[in-house]
Amino acid sequence: MTSDIELNPEPGILIESLRDIGYSFNSALADIIDNSITAHARKITIYALPEEGSFKVAILDDGVGLNRLDLLQAMRLGSSSPRNERETGDLGRFGLGMKTASFSQCRRLTVVSRQQGDTAAFTWDLDTVVKDNSWSITERFDFDHIFALDQLSSSGTLVLWENVDRITGHDGSDSVDYERLVSDAQEHLSLVFHRFLSGEKDTPKINVYVNGRHLEPIDPFNIANNATQASPEEVVCPGVTLRSFTLPHASAYEDKREYELYGLPGGYLRNQGVYLYRAKRLIVFGTWFGLAKKTALTQLTRVKIDIGTDQDESWKIDVKKVSAQLPEIVRKRVKSLIQTIGAPSRKVYRRRGARLTNPEAYPLWNRTKNGEKAVIYSINGDHPLLKNFREGLDTSSQEQFDSLLALIGSMLPIDTLFYDMSANAEPVSAAALNEEDFSRNTRDFFTTLKQFKEDQEILDIMRTIEPYQSRWDETLSVLGIEER
């Protein structure tokens, strides 16, 4: 004999837990935009502004809007089943996105929707939920007091975040670089929705404005550049298509800023790999899903995989729509294609018969003469690794770095070296780099030189200088190069 006992979740505890699913500010914004696109919006306006000591975010669209009953249902947690069959362009998934994305950033969520001239508005206040321990929302009629509502068109929806504590801190006292926050969000949305922003064929075109700036699409494959190499589109399995791209070398760009733009945040090495799209919306990017290592020689390779909304379960798309897993049938197919995918950017290098006549040594130490007698050794600040590291620092840190190099250079133990080498009792050598440091520096050196030299030329240089010369096989292995 059995009996069923109903165990309802504690509202206050569950609502706080839902805030920690793992959204970032950027992914939360993208989730709200998904709803706007599903509602057939063509213009989406975002305001992310400090307002009277607080930070508010308003996302408005000109979509079809919702009537009062539909909006009330949409405010419910789990408003639709993930197993429901969705329309081709429906970017939703669990019926949780709008709420969990918003709760992850703010403690007060107001949604206003307008349809056929009728306006409805509801507010979730998490402090009230916790205080009353009740799944209660407030219906709003004080339209004049709702931020940005005057910007809502004759039909459409406004999503308003207030008390954005995940940005400003619980009491609003955290120091926030709002300019950087908004700039990063603009760049993220320009990438994630680039196919919608560009009006790609069979894709609804949208216009997105963030604090008045119209977002331009960032195509990670730079298809508009004639130097981009693209393979034919291939059907991996039903519902899954694949196409690989090799981006242009740095020398193909006249403008360095354009080259860096398509490197995306973190650069080419970090952003190589698979770009997974669900219904034309970018879900995951810059990963080989554990099927291949990221190497300097494949840093220009990017692979576009398209799936539909009917693939969610097999790909294990998460509620945030920022992670996925390759289904086994696709994993096997992609694994078999990896070598072909990387072929345009991975070459088999053949050893040349002789070294370069005048190789660039890129010495870490400079040897100069002071007058006719004194020889001075100093650290070479123009060494690619040092120079590249220095350029990534702010002005104050650059000055500290320069002082530190000057100090190290001035403390070269000349007398001790002279004594040890003269005595000749024991061989004198520098400390060897451990495997991890050697690998990191090898990749960094290759990647830095790749900005202005061809792969073969870089390898010829590295073959003639330390620490790579004496560890050549290890150097090739780190770079993922086969030499014959």
- DSSP E strand stretches across 211-280: 213-214, 229-230, 234-237, 240-246, 273-278
Least confident of 56-65, 298-307, 448-457, 460-469: 448-457
Report pLDDT for 217: 97
Higher pLDDT, 190 or 436: 190
Whether 359 shows a pLDDT value over 50: the answer reads no
Region for 463 from its dihedrals, namely left if φ exceeds 0, alpha if ψ lies in -120 to 50, beta otherwise: alpha
What number of other Cβ atoms are within 10 A of residue 184's Cβ?
A: 15
What are the pLDDT digits (tens) for 89-117? Answer: 445 444 577 999 999 999 999 999 999 88
Strand partners, 229: 246
What are the pLDDT digits (tens) for 184-201? Answer: 999 999 999 999 999 999
The DSSP element (H or E) to which 72 belongs, if any, is helix 68-74
Grouping H, G, I as helix, E, B as strand and the rest as coil, residue 370 is strand
Whether 40 shows a pLDDT value over 60: the answer reads yes
What are the pLDDT digits (tens) for 391-420? Answer: 777 888 888 888 888 888 888 887 777 666
Report pLDDT for 470: 84
Torsion of CA 256, 260, 261, 262, to 10 degrees: 110
Report pLDDT for 343: 53
What are the pLDDT digits (tens) for 273-318? Answer: 999 999 999 999 999 998 888 877 788 889 999 999 889 888 988 8
> CATH 3.30.565.10: which residues of the chain?
11-214
The rounded mean pLDDT for the chain is 84
Q: What distance, in Å, lies between the first and last C-alpha atoms of the chain?
A: 75
Kindly state the average pLDDT of the residues 150-162.
96
Whether 348 shows a pLDDT value over 50: the answer reads no
Whether 225 shows a pLDDT value over 80: the answer reads yes
Kindly state the average pLDDT of the residues 426-440.
79
Token code pair at residue 298: 């494949």
pTM (two decimals): 0.70
What CATH number labels 229-342? Answer: 3.30.230
Does domain 11-214 correspond to CATH entry 3.40.50.1820? Answer: no
Transcribe 38-64 into DSSP letters: HTT-SEEEEEEEEETTEEEEEEEE-S-
Report pLDDT for 231: 86
